[in-house]
Amino acid sequence: SVQSVESLSERKSALFKFEEDNLKASLKSLFTQAVQAAYPENFKEVSLNECANSGLGDYQFNDAMHLFSVVREVGGCDVKSPREVAQNIINMLPVNPFFENPSIAGPGFINVKISDSYISSKILQNFNICEPRERRVNTAENVNYPRVIVDFSSPNIAKEMHVGHLRSTIIGDSICRMLEYKNIETLRLNHVGDWGTQFGMLIEYLNDEHDDFVDTIGDLQSCYKLAKKRFDEDTEFKIRSQAAVVKLQAGDPKMLEIWENVCQTSRNEFETIYEALNVRISERGESFYNLMISGILEELEQKNIAVKSEGALCIFSSFEGTPLICRKSDGGYNYASTDLAAINHRIKYEKADWVIYVTDSGQKKHFAGIFDATERAGWLERCEKSDVRLSHVGFGLVMGEDGKRFRTRSGEVIRLKELLSEAESRCYDELKNRGTSGLSEIEMKQTARKLGIGAIKYADLQNNLSTNYVFSFDRMLDLKGNTAIYLQYAHVRVSAVLDKTQIDVQNVTPQEFRFKAKEERALALHILKFAESLDSSLQDLMPSRICDYLYTLSSLFNDFYGSCKVIGDDNEESRIILCHATASVMRRCFFILGIDPVYKL
């Protein structure tokens, strides 16, 4: 069933436990110990939630009810109610720095309230760690350090990069940043579509019509369309195109030169987009794997995983569905052939512990097939480390405000360059029209760029990945609501406070960090939840969780700022520390989302 693939990609690898400084994970482990001590026979993995009602506490343990039913069924025990089970668990909770007296509510919910002294000490301990930590490198002592390959962006040569590739680029980059923040080594790969039979007709067409070269992607794209048309209509051209592919594959220098030029033209175009988005990625296109394919298919045939069927070589997966065709009946290779060679290369030669693919959800089945074949071929098994983990992160379509696929008014593919510059110029106009800011012309340009690009990224990342998302400048540039602009304003506000204070935060060592107002406590506790939010984002590869976290952080900061005086208050020192911690965590989130924070607006 499809489930086997799900559980395969979800299989927990011992290498990927991200839980340092994770408050929720620490609490969970306390409850695990308590349940183990109180009910050793009935122990199973426990769960812990945030309290829905913050009046009762901060975290809640809800397993007592279930445990009671299990214990009662087994019999031979003397508890009469879930509340009693809850009490027995509480009795076994180890003494700990996080909370003091848990309470039982309703039928047997255990609520814990994090102690103010714990929150204070943690904030003090952490508040000035603004610098990103140093990167860890693989040394003899930590050779087990995990290495992750993220395959993302991956546009196709000779075609414009489209909004789907934009999503992949933004999401993939953010996933890399989360991993890198955790000091995990990443290899960012751009699996560009630079190989295949389509290059034969393109080369022949360029040769016929353009003296072999064109220098913009727009021209390439139109040539591509015209070449396709000629290919379908003109038999002589078709035959020449097919011959060109064979020559190209055999390494004919003339063919290679034209092909290389086509790639370079496209590459230049892609580069400008990556530069505007500030995304790093290494190109390793489909052509890279070409020579590996025949050997890989042979191996799969020998292992009886790939079988001949109606002339083609197919892999029938262990779950229902159409087979993966890995060699066409004419002997040619395809998208799947390349992906099989690529995954093998990544595991075997690149020694990846985790391979993550970021594409639209339409490719879900393709990757399920590739992963299934990979597992059955035994490529995932490792003796020295735990098994290799594979994930496909699928995302929904980008829709226009009219509810249809996102296109220009005349129905064409949206050009990304124009999209990015429109975001920028809208922000610029906004800043200009406001007129009140103390920004110079240059600052205004730079700020507009950061706001615009950041807004596009955030609007994308904030969504639940699998749903289609509606691209709307008006919405993403709104000051209110869950938008990057709202977050940027909160960041500017906190930065301004830190600018204004006379207190030198680097040098204060207050004996005590005090809260007076409830808004201070709420903000401080949320700051401590950064680690758990990052871990859960990573565990499920959902950057939207970091967005939610940052949005809540900004709102809690605004609540605090709205009701607590900072500068000149007798609690100024503590409040400045809180602002400092807020700013520091905000900037980490911005970093992870790939958004440049602005400091002045």
Residue numbers of the site for ligand ARG (CB under 6 A)?
151, 154-156, 191, 193, 339, 342, 357, 359
Stated as kind and residue range, the H or E segment containing 59 is strand 59-61
Least distance in Å: CB of 456 to ligand ARG? 20
Rounded to the nearest whole angstrom, what is the least distance from the CB of residue 468 to ligand ARG in the complex? 17
Nearer to ligand ARG, 286 or 535 (CB): 286
Q: How far is the CB of 354 from ligand ARG (least distance, A)?
A: 15
Q: Tokens standing for 556?
A: 């809690």
Q: How far is the CB of 287 from ligand ARG (least distance, A)?
A: 12
Q: Cβ closer to ligand ARG: 305 or 343?
A: 343
Output DSSP code: residue 320.
S
Q: How far is the CB of 228 from ligand ARG (least distance, A)?
A: 17
What would the two tokens of residue 259 be? Answer: 């092909």
- Rounded Cα distance between 196 and 102, Å, is 64
Specify whether the backbone of 329 is left (phi greater than 0), alpha (psi in -120 to 50) or beta. Answer: alpha
| Closer residue to ligand ARG in complex, CB, 108/155 | 155
* Closer residue to ligand ARG in complex, CB, 88/359: 359
Cβ proximity to ligand ARG, 155 vs 454, nearer residue: 155
* Residue whose CB is less far from ligand ARG, 342 or 420: 342
How many residues comprise the chain?
Answer: 601
The least CB distance from residue 151 to ligand ARG, in Å, is 5
Q: How far is CA 294 from each of CA 326, 371, 439, rounded to the nearest angstrom?
A: 10, 19, 60
Shortest separation between residue 549's beta carbon and ligand ARG, angstroms: 29
C-beta of 153: minimal distance to ligand ARG in Å? 8
Considering the complex, state which of residue 21 and residue 283 has its C-beta at the smaller distance from ligand ARG.
283
> Measured from the CB atom, is 347 or 534 closer to ligand ARG?
347
Closest CA to 149 of 187, 183, 180: 187
Which amino acid makes up residue 120?
S
The distance of closest approach from Cβ of residue 346 to ligand ARG in the complex, given in angstroms and rounded to an integer, is 9
- Residue 327 and residue 297 in contact, taking contact as beta carbons nearer than 8 Å: yes
Q: Are 68 and 83 in contact (CB under 8 A)?
A: no
Q: What's the CA gap between 89 and 61, in Å, rounded?
A: 10
Contact (CB, 8 A) for 519 and 563 = yes
To ligand ARG, the closest distance from the beta carbon of 359 in angstroms equals 5
| AA identity, residue 80 | K
Q: What DSSP letter does each residue of 478-515 carry, written as one string?
A: -SSSSSHHHHHHHHHHHHHHHHH----GGG---S----
Q: Hey, what are 290's tokens?
A: 């070409």
**DSSP codes of every residue in 246-262:** HHHHTT-HHHHHHHHHH
Closer to ligand ARG by CB, 115 or 323: give it. 323
SS3 84: helix
- Cβ proximity to ligand ARG: between 186 and 582 the closer is 186
In the complex, the smallest distance separating the C-beta of residue 491 from ligand ARG, rounded to whole angstroms, is 34
CA distance 287 to 292: 10
Token digits for 329?
């009946």
Nearest distance from C-beta of residue 390 to ligand ARG, angstroms: 12
Q: Please state, in angstroms and rounded to a whole number, the distance separating the CA atoms of residues 310 and 52.
A: 58
The rounded distance, in Å, linking the Cα atoms of 280 and 285 is 15
Between CA 349 and CA 52 the distance in angstroms is: 48
Identity of the residue, 191 or 529, whose beta carbon is nearer to ligand ARG in the bound complex: 191
Closest residue (Cβ) to ligand ARG?
Answer: 154
Q: Which is nearer to ligand ARG, 171 or 497 (CB)?
A: 171
The span from the CA of 583 to the CA of 600, in Å, is 14
Smallest separation, CB 188 to ligand ARG (Å): 12
- Closer to ligand ARG by Cβ: residue 63 or 353: 353
Cross-strand bridge partners of residue 283:
190
Give the span between the Cα atoms of 17 and 376, in whole angstroms. Answer: 26
Residue type, 315: I
Q: Are 415 and 163 in contact (CB under 8 A)?
A: no
What residues contact 245, with CB distance under 8 A and at least 6 apart?
197, 199, 200
The minimum distance between CB 7 and ligand ARG, in angstroms, equals 22
Rounded CA-CA distance 305/317 in Å is 9
**Residue (355 or 595) nearer to ligand ARG, CB:** 355
The token pair that represents 420 in the structure block: 């990015």
One-letter amino acid identity for 81? S
Say whether 407 sits in a helix, a strand or coil. Answer: coil
